[in-house]
Each structure stands twice: as structure tokens, then as C-alpha cells.
């Protein structure tokens, strides 16, 4: 099972908490997913608005490890302040660092990401950077202190799956000892299985479960998929080849 | 004085961040705060003065991906 900053988690599935049809469906989806980590955010609360207090009670009942994010931040300073507020709220040094560089693709800003990761690491955070599969960016993030990398599979919320399988495979080969998580873009359990088959330690997803017609069933589907992927990865898969090779013995075939 | 709380202009007599939270009914709530884009820890709210035009952010746990 994956180990993040010295903490082993019980599942290769990390699940977001947004966009579910109801709190009850969120809770049941989490139970069926077996996810060990739940991502959460911080948002404004003032006046008569107490939504955050109710949500916090719900999350505590799930019994999962919480990974707060800096979703929606577009600058390093903004992400750092958000992370500091999240650390106090959730009482954890873990932070999923998101610094968005493009509004259409929600692609991370690589330059601001490195800047924020270095500041946060110096401040005692354990950073989970939401990044692209760019090898040089990932090297710089590791130099900045990140001991986990979370490249996207495809843009957030698209469900397109793995847009750059070669890039993800290269990253795995280049960082054999850094936990790698595909974060964002997954739409189907088969894509999650593929990530784990590639040797990735975990997947992080939200929309694929929350926006499915039956989020609870989809959560179970993803749980089975990451288990299947892990079995396959550990089972030393065969090498693909271009030409056919009969699986049924040729010897002994009737001469007709 | 007038300050900005979560993007809204608010008229307040609160002289500290801790008093503002009480005024907002969030004195005992699970929230985190910043003033003028700088994080203010819970332990520092009593000593954090507020001045006219300050920008205060008050956040709480929320759903996220």
C-alpha cells in the first residue's frame, strides 16, 4: 500500500468530497470505495453561513485521513496563505498544492507551483503537488522538497482518462522511489486500473464518482479497479508483441 | 469603521479579529482567518487589531477534490 511522508494508507484510492447529490450518498460512496484519504477544501464562512461546521462533522464520521487542497488558487502567495489556514483547520501538515495557471484547462502553473512548494516545505508542510507529467517540473518539485508527485491524467473534471501514457510511464521509470499519484481527469474504473498497472501508487478522483448516475456503485467499481490493477502490477505482466503467437498448442492438431 | 469580510463591506465596532468573529457569531466555530492576505493563527486573534479598510477572510472546512 502507498506510503506518503512515512504514513501508510490502506487503499490506493483517494477520493474527493465535492459534488455528491447528498451528504448521505457521499458517506456511502466513501464506505464502498474503501478510500483511505479524502480531499477537502477551505471556503468562506461568515454571518449566518455555518455550512462548514456541518461538513466537518460529516468528514469526521468517515474515519479517513484528510488531505486539504488549495483549489482555486492562481498565485503562490495565495496558495501559501490558503495552506496555512487549512493546516490550522484540519490539524495536518499535509497539503494538496494546486496553483492553477490556465482557466480553461485548469493546468497547474509550474513556476508558481515550485515557488509555493519550496515556501511550504520550509514552513514544515508535507506537500502533495498537483502537477503535469512534465519530467523537469517534477524534478524541480522534488528538489523543492516534495516527496510525492501527483501528475494529472487529463484536465480536472473531464473524465478523459490518461492523455499521455508515455509521459506517465517515463515519470514512473525516472522516480522509482517517489510515490506517484494520478490526480484528476479519470472517468472510468478501467482508467484507474491502468494507472496502477503502470506502477502508480494511487489515484485521486472526485467527479467520476460524484457525478455518476449511481455514485455508490461507481465508488465500488473504482475500489475493485485499483485492486485489480495492483494484482496485475505485482504479477509481472507479459511483454506485448506485434505478431500473433497461438496460445492453443499446435502439436497434435488433427490433420483434416 | 468599515472593513471587508469575505468580500463584503461590513460596519463594525470590533477592534480585534477575535471580537469580529464573536460579532459574526463564529466565536466558537471551526474557522481559520487571514487579514490583508496574511494568515492569522487562532492564538493571535486576540492581539490582531483591525483598522478601517482591512480585508478579512474567514474560512471553514468545505467539500473539495
pLDDT tens over chain A, length 256 residues: 999 999 999 999 999 999 999 999 999 999 999 999 999 999 999 767 788 888 999 999 999 999 999 999 999 999 999 999 999 999 999 999 999 999 999 999 999 999 999 999 999 999 999 999 999 999 999 999 999 999 999 999 999 999 999 999 999 999 999 999 999 999 999 999 999 999 999 999 999 999 999 999 999 999 999 999 999 999 999 999 999 999 999 899 999 9
Of A96, A140, A194, A220, the catalytic one is A96
Q: Do A46 and B6 touch (CB under 8 A)?
A: yes
DSSP letter at A251 equals T
Share of chain B above pLDDT 90, in %: 97
Q: pLDDT confidence of B24, banded at 50, 70, 90?
A: very high
Tell how far CA A96 is from the center of its chain. Answer: 10
Q: Do B30 and A89 touch (CB under 8 A)?
A: yes
pLDDT for A5: 98
pLDDT for A48: 73
pLDDT for A49: 73
pLDDT for A46: 75
A96 belongs to the catalytic site: yes
Per-residue CA distances from A52 to A58, A60, B60 (Å): 10, 12, 5
- What is the C-alpha separation between A206 and B64, in angstroms, rounded? 8
Lowest-confidence segment of A140-144, A227-231, B25-29, B61-65 by average pLDDT: B25-29
- DSSP assignment string, chain B: -EEEETTEEEE----BHHHHHHHTT-TTS--EEEETTEEE-GGGSTT-B--TT-EEEEEEEEE--
pLDDT for A186: 98
Nearest-CA distance B8 → chain A (Å): 10
**b/e map A23-60, b = 16+ CB within 10 Å:** bebbbbbbebbbbbbbbbbbbbbbeebeebbebbebbe
C-alpha cell at A87: 493546516
Q: What is the mean pLDDT of residues B12-21?
A: 96
Residue A197, classified by CB atoms within 10 Å of its CB into exposed (0-12), middle (13-18) or buried (19+), is: middle
From the list B6, B38, B62, the residue facing A55 with the nearest CB is B62
- What is the C-alpha separation between A77 and B39, in angstroms, rounded? 11
DSSP letter at A63 equals T
Closest residue in B to A78 (Cα) is B37
- What is the C-alpha separation between A32 and A54, in angstroms, rounded? 22
Which candidate, B41, B48, B54, B65, places its Cα nearest to that of A123?
Answer: B41
Residue A52 in contact with partner chain B when CB distance is under 8 A: yes
- DSSP assignment string, A122-160: HTT-EEEEEE-S-HHHHHHHHHTT-S-BEE-SSSTT---
- Hey, of A20, A46, A55, A60, which one would you mutate to test binding to chain B, going by the most B CBs within 10 A of its CB? A46
pLDDT for A211: 98
Helix/strand/coil for A94: strand
Nearest-CA distance B2 → chain A (Å): 16
C-alpha cell at A245: 503467437
Task: Point out which residues pair with A95 in neighbouring strands.
Answer: A127
Q: Do A18 and B64 touch (CB under 8 A)?
A: yes
Amino acid at each position: 500500500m502507498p506510503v506518503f511522508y512515512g504514513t501508510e494508507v490502506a487503499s490506493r484510492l483517494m477520493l474527493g468530497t465535492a459534488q455528491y447529490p447528498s451528504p448521505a450518498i457521499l458517506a456511502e460512496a466513501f464506505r464502498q470505495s474503501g478510500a483511505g484519504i479524502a480531499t477537502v477544501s477551505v471556503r468562506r464562512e461568515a454571518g449566518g453561513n455555518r455550512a462548514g461546521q456541518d461538513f466537518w462533522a460529516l468528514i469526521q464520521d468517515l474515519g479517513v485521513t484528510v488531505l486539504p487542497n488549495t483549489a482555486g488558487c492562481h498565485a503562490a502567495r495565495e496558495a501559501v496563505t490558503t495552506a496555512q489556514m487549512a493546516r490550522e483547520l484540519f490539524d495536518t501538515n499535509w497539503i494538496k498544492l494546486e496553483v492553477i495557471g490556465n482557466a480553461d484547462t485548469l493546468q497547474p502553473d509550474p513556476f508558481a507551483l515550485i515557488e509555493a512548494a519550496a515556501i511550504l516545505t520550509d514552513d514544515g508542510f508535507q506537500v502533495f503537488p498537483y502537477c503535469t507529467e512534465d519530467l523537469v517540473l517534477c524534478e524541480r518539485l522534488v528538489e523543492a522538497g516534495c516527496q510525492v508527485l501527483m501528475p494529472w491524467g487529463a484536465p480536472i473534471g473531464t473524465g478523459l482518462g490518461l492523455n499521455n501514457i508515455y509521459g506517465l510511464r517515463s515519470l514512473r521509470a525516472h522516480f522509482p522511489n517517489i510515490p506517484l499519484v494520478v490526480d484528476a481527469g479519470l472517468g472510468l474504473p478501467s482508467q484507474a486500473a491502468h494507472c496502477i498497472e503502470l506502477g502508480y501508487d494511487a489515484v485521486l478522483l472526485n467527479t467520476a464518482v460524484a457525478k455518476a448516475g449511481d455514485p455508490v456503485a461507481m465508488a465500488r467499481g473504482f475500489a475493485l479497479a485499483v485492486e485489480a490493477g495492483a494484482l496485475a502490477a505485482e504479477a509481472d505482466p507479459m511483454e506485448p508483441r506485434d505478431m500473433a503467437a497461438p496460445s492453443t498448442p499446435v502439436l497434435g492438431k488433427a490433420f483434416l | 469603521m468599515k472593513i471587508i469580510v469575505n468580500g463584503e463591506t461590513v460596519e463594525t465596532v470590533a477592534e480585534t479579529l477575535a471580537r469580529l468573529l464573536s460579532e459574526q457569531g463564529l466565536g466558537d466555530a471551526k474557522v481559520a482567518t487571514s487579514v490583508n492576505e496574511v494568515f492569522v493563527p487562532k492564538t493571535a486573534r486576540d492581539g490582531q487589531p483591525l483598522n478601517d479598510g482591512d480585508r478579512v477572510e474567514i474560512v471553514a472546512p468545505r467539500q473539495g477534490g
